[in-house]
Amino acid sequence: DIKGMTFDLDGVITDTASFHEKAWHQTANEVGTVWTQALADQLKGLSRMDSLALILKAGHHEDDYTQAEKVSLAEKKNRYYQQLITKLTADDLLPGIGAFLNELRSAGYRMSIASASKNAVTILKQLQITDYFQGIVDPASLSAGKPDPEIFIKAGELLALPPMALIGLEDAAAGVQSIKAAGQTALGIGLAAKKAEPDLYFDRTQDITLAAIHDKMN
Ligand code: G6P
Ligand code: MG
């Protein structure tokens, strides 16, 4: 029986995935890597430094920058991203997510956040939904990012629930892989997630309800 949900944040709860994309696109232009949708999809869910490494690798620029220069490129991206998220308010939940969170809370499901983002706590506050979650994984505590299962394993431990009692929600292929490797049921949203063959698939957040999930599980 499912008793809890482990949520990715960016691209699942709110549309910050598009802000990450916008900010990384700017970094790609700066280092001379051609921006493609395939690259954008591969970046989804990856940690900040893993994302930068992929952008540099895609343009064969990995040896053009020192480690210190890489850190400053990543910091610059984050400053731009942080400017973009200052505008977020409670109105910026993705369609249907507010209703779904309320439905889950009323039905007694436990929820935690499995986001690689060091900005997650700020975003949850701005969206005014921090109280829905019994736990938030600290991404600084991770030894490996998505697709490694560590983040979803920790998100399950925060709820004191075993993997078989959990559904993980993701919009990224790396995230779906992480959920599956953690032994949880993977709910994928959108085409990037679909590529990693989630157990349950939804095109759009507004279709996600407990009834729709139960239908797909049977
Ligand atoms: C999430 C997003 C990624 C982002 C990562 C790190 O997983 O999906 O696109 O790179 O968090 O976010 P941060 O805000 O710490 O740079
Ligand atoms: Mg995401």
Per residue in 47-68, pLDDT (tens digit) is: 999 999 999 999 999 999 999 9
Question: Coil, strand, or helix at residue 49?
Answer: helix
Predicted-complex ipTM score:
0.97
In the predicted model, is pLDDT for residue 218 greater than 90? Answer: no
Residues with CB under 5 A from ligand 2 (ion): 8, 10-11, 171-172
What's the CA gap between 65 and 189, in Å, rounded?
35
**Which residues, at least 6 apart from 74, have a Cβ–Cβ distance to it below 8 Å?**
48, 49, 52
- Name every residue whose Cβ is closer than 8 Å to that of residue 210 and which is 6 or more positions away in sequence: 103, 104, 107
Q: For residues 166 and 155, give the distance between their C-alpha atoms in angstroms, rounded to a whole number.
A: 10
* Prediction pTM value: 0.95
Asked if residue 47 has its Cβ within 6 Å of ligand 1, the reply is: yes
In whole angstroms, what is the distance from residue 218 CA to residue 213 CA? 9
pLDDT more than 90, % of the chain: 100
In eight-state DSSP terms, residue 205 is G
Q: Whose CA is nearest to atom 2 of ligand 1?
A: 45
Tens-digit pLDDT profile for residues 84-138: 999 999 999 999 999 999 999 999 999 999 999 999 999 999 999 999 999 999 9
CA of 170 to the centre of ligand 2 (A): 6
- Per residue in 133-178, pLDDT (tens digit) is 999 999 999 999 999 999 999 999 999 999 999 999 999 999 999 9
CA angle 169, 81, 146 (to 5 degrees): 35
Is the Cβ atom of 27 under 6 angstroms away from ligand 1?
no
How far, in Å, from the CA of 88 to the mean position of ligand 2? 16
Atom number of ligand 1 nearest to Cα 139? 15
The predicted structure's pLDDT at residue 157: 98
Strands (E), 95-171: 110-113, 135-136, 166-170
Residue whose CA is at the smallest distance from ligand 1 atom 6 = 117
Closest CA to 168 of 114, 122, 124, 212: 114
Mean pLDDT calculated for residue range 173-200: 98
